[in-house]
Structure 1
Amino acid sequence: MSDGRDGLPPGIDAFDYLGTMVLVVDEVGRCRFANAAFEEVVGASRRSVQGVSLYDWFVDRPTMRDVVAGVMQKAYATSRVHAELKRHPHVTAGDPLPVQVIVTHLNHGDLILVELVEVEQQTRQEREERVLDQAQANKELIRNLAHEIKNPLGGIRGAAQLLEMDLESPSLTEYTQVIIHEADRLQLLVDRLLAPHRRPHVVSDVNIHEVCERVRSLILAEFPKGIRVQRDYDTSLPDFRGDREQLIQTVLNIAHNAAQALVDRMASGDALLIFRTRVARRVTINRQLHRLALVLHIEDNGPGIPESIRDRIFYPLVSGRDGGSGLGLTLAQTFVQQHQGTIECESEPGRTVFRILLPLL
């Protein structure tokens, strides 16, 4: 009995392990194979896809037909084109998905390999790589700078203490006290910069909703009036292995920043903070494909992050608030990356969303 894969290359099932969508079509454009990623994205089973014309899945049918024909006739070995992929109506209202299409002739009969890469996914992966590189550079810079500061700082403080012992005038000791206090303040700042890299990673079973509830209670205790903390949880999310205290600190740092930005709205009684959890399937995080991932959105209806620092909010010592240390989001990013996850932010006036993505499987 045939399973519909007669004439296909051996080992074709390996395409199911890819995070990108893959189709194999014949010389007239009929789909002979669709991998699991394609099923997931378009919202259709591979059984329903087999035998259907490839061109029916695209908004611009003629362009796709010309590209496949060119590769089939060996006018070129590989062709790339941007296109819009149709999806089942139950998937995000059926809106077409912008993709980059890579068409290649297979050395196996008259078959064509069609790879579809989501433009948004490709952009996100490139952004993740930049963030990882920048975070690593920041980490090395902080470590080196902190150690360079600590040694002379101790000497300055010690010299001020010795000088104070020899001073007879109380008015002059005020100046040495200023030196000592400022040296202590800088020492505390250096310790906070180094803390994320010194603290051990304590792993246990973590429930993300328990983390959110803990943060929610802390926010409402500090800001009891004028703010509503809304929960939108996917209760099917499983527990996962992680450092509970680090994750609480991560969510608290983001939520606390949001609450502080909502002070004006609190006065008018319409401040809103939302914790939203979802599950994502077949997600690429930090260049690795994961079958299952947790998505946590922390959203507020505040004024938004100033555009001048929007691209630098995860850098150390960058703050959009007077008196802010600029370490909260840096710490949050460090803890998320220690969980092999990513953190992103989108902001505009009236809506700011931090998106934390953590692998589950």
Structure 2
Amino acid sequence: MVINAFVLENLNTAIIALDSELCVSYMNSAAEALLDISEKNSLQLPLPQILDHGSMVHDLQRAMEQNQQFTRRESEIAITGTSIVVDYTITPIASPHACLLMEIHPRDRLQRITREESLIAKQETSRILVRGLAHEIKNPLGGIRGAAQLLDKQLNDAELCEFTQIIIEEADRLRDLVNQMLGPIKPPSMNLLNIHEVLERVIQLIHAETSGQLTIVKDYDPSIPDLPADRERLLQAILNLVRNAMQAIEQHMPLSDGQITVQSRISRQFTIGNQRRKLVCHLSIIDNGPGIPEHLKENIFYPMISGRAEGTGLGLPMAQYIISQHQGLIECDSKPGQTCFHVYLPLTFKEPSAGKEPSAGKEPSAGKEPSADTQQE
């Protein structure tokens, strides 16, 4: 019996036992994580009070009355106001404490993991190609600039010198663009920091840029513990996302009509790539702009893709790259009138080489903060 309990508690499948009144008599850890409720608080509660689904009660009664196992595929259920797609199986059992056993398999998580793995692989391939191209550009660019400087010194005609100056200035502009494409080479310097301090600094910079015209709503979870991050880079990544939202609003309406919501939450049992994390910090940056055009949705995290005529298309890819250095991920949901960027940051950092996490007692270093005029998407 001890072995059975141990196995149930370590399953990834959500298991719920119900009595004849369809009240909860047991749920394992996976069910607690899925339903966002503890077993202690759920005991003797009717299942429909925890799960909102029209046909589920009928399915439970049918399985109990006919004494037959019943399975429903890709059913949408609502948990604490959020809809998810699941498969569930109801099995009649003979037990003094329960008569039905319910197994719930979330489908949206599997679909999301598959989509994320594909996205991460494509972005890594894209980064390799971009880095190779950037290095190939930088080598002849240095020669062109050097030759233009030498030629400038040999010319006595001011009009001709004007042309060499154009060559030098354009070479410098291309060099800066290539450096942005390459991104930071060194690994991030990880120290424990308060994520809300970073968010407050980002909001302060955006307020300064917009002269306070833009409404920014803060919706924080103060219980989020300090997490390991490179303060300077994380600040830059979040600033890129918030500024991207601000620019999308600015293009289609007066800033005074715009609103950005910056939200922080904790997500449990969350998978990033092939790593399952018990706890992650979930940031949401939500704007009331026009939304991302349908033809750009799948490509916004690739370099040189921008919805603005004057955009470089580097802000979002750089933000994704920085978050990936923190072993996190950025996702985006968009529809007309609302765009939401989701940032997932693990609360622990696994060193690629030694596999060690940062010391909990180490204080964050004061990194240099990006200026308000840093190049963005």
TM exceeds 0.5?
A: yes
Residues 226, 266 of structure 1: 8 Å contact kept: no
- Structure 1: distance between partners of 2:116 and 2:294: 20
**Residues 189 and 20 (structure 1 numbering): CA distance in 2 closer, same or farther, change over 3 Å?**
farther
Equivalent of 2:6, from 13, 24, 32? 13
Does structure 2 retain, via aligned residues, the 8 Å contact 1:343–1:357?
yes
2:123 paired with 1:135: yes
Number of the residue aligned with 1:219: 206
Deviations along 1:200-253, one digit per CA (max 9) or x if unpaired, are 311111111101100011010111142111111111111111111111111111
Task: Give me the whole-angstrom Cα distance separating, in 2, the residues matched to 1:98 and 1:242.
Answer: 33
CA distance in 1, matches of 2:183, 2:312: 14
Contact 1:59 1:85 in 2 (8 A): no
2:310 — aligned with what?
Answer: 323
The answer (yes or no) to whether the contact 1:247–1:335 under 8 Å persists in 2 is: yes
1:260 equivalent to 2:250? Answer no
Match of 1:239 among 226, 233, 243: 226
Match of 1:117 in 2: 105
CA distance in 2, matches of 1:273, 1:204: 28
In structure 1, distance between residues paired with 2:299 and 2:61:
40
Q: Which runs of 5+ in 2 are unaligned?
A: 92-99, 349-377
The one-letter amino acid paired with 1:175 is: F
Q: Please say if 1:278 is aligned against 2:265.
A: yes
Q: Residue 350 of structure 1 corresponds to which residue in structure 2?
A: 337
Distance of aligned partners of 1:352 and 1:86 in 2 relative to their CA distance in 1, 3 Å threshold: closer
Q: How does 1:182-197 map to 2 (within 5 A)?
A: 182-196=170-184
Letter of the aligned partner of 1:146 in structure 2?
Answer: A
Taking the aligned partners of 1:19 and 1:189, their CA distance within structure 2 comes to 46
Aligned to 1:154: 142
* CA displacement at 1:65 relative to structure 2: 4.5
Q: Is the 8 A contact 1:286 1:340 kept in 2?
A: no
Match of 1:311 in 2: 298
Aligned residues: 332
1:293 matched to 2:280: yes
**Aligned amino acid, residue 163 of structure 1:** L
Q: State the Cα distance separating 1:273 from its structure 2 match.
A: 1.2
User: What is the CA-CA distance between 1:114 and the residue it aligns to?
Assistant: 7.0
1:58-95 Cα deviation digits (max 9, x unpaired): 356289949x9579xxxxxxx994345576xxx32xx7
1:38 and 2:31 aligned? yes
Give the direction of change, closer, same or farther, for the CA distance of 1:187–1:11 in structure 2 (3 Å limit).
Answer: farther
- What runs of 5+ residues in structure 1 fail to find an aligned partner? 1-5, 72-78, 105-111
Amino acid aligned to 2:209: E
Cα separation, 2, equivalents of 1:288 and 1:18: 16
Q: Is the 8 A contact 1:60 1:83 kept in 2?
A: no
Indicate the SS of the match to 2:313.
coil
Q: TM-score, normalised by structure 1?
A: 0.78
Q: Relative to structure 1, is the Cα distance of residues 61 and 80 closer, same or farther in structure 2, using a 3 angstrom cutoff? A: closer
Match of 1:61 in 2: 59
Q: Does 1:229 align with 2:221?
A: no
Deviation digits for residues 236-291 of structure 1, max 9, x if unmatched? Answer: 11111111111111111111111122226763722211111111122222222222
3-state SS of 1:262 partner:
helix
TM-score normalised to structure 2 length: 0.75
CA distance in 1, matches of 2:16, 2:90: 10
Distance in 1, Cα, partners of 2:78 & 2:308: 44
Asked if structure 1 preserves the Cα contact closer than 8 Å seen for 2:290 and 2:337, the reply is: yes
Distance 2:137 2:116 in 1: 31
Q: Following TM superposition, where does structure 1 have runs of at least 4 consecutive aligned residues deviating by more than 6 angstroms?
A: 30-33, 47-50
Q: Relative to 1, partners in 2 of residues 1:137 and 1:258: Cα closer, same or farther, differing over 3 Å?
A: same
Structure 1 residues 32, 228: CA separation in 2 closer, same or farther (over 3 Å shift)? closer
Q: Specify the code of the residue in structure 1 equivalent to 2:246.
A: A
Q: CA deviation at 1:138?
A: 1.4
State which of 330, 333, 338 in structure 1 corresponds to 2:325.
338
Alpha-carbon distance between aligned partners in 1 of 2:137 and 2:255, rounded to the nearest angstrom? 45
Residues 84 and 96 of structure 1 are in contact (CA less than 8 Å); yes or no, is this contact kept in structure 2? Answer: yes
CA RMSD of aligned residues (A): 3.7
- The SS at the match of 1:291 is strand
* Alpha-carbon distance change, 289 to 188 in structure 1, aligned in 2, over 3 angstroms: same
Residue in 1 that maps onto 2:96? none
- Residues 164 and 289 from structure 1, CA distance in 2 versus in 1: closer, same or farther, beyond 3 angstroms? same
Which has the higher relative contact order, 1 or 2, with Cα contacts under 8 A spaced 6 or more apart? 2
Q: CA deviation at 1:334?
A: 0.8
Query: What is the rounded CA distance, in whole Å, between the counterparts of 2:29 and 2:202 in structure 1?
Result: 37
TM-superposed deviation, 1:168: 4.5
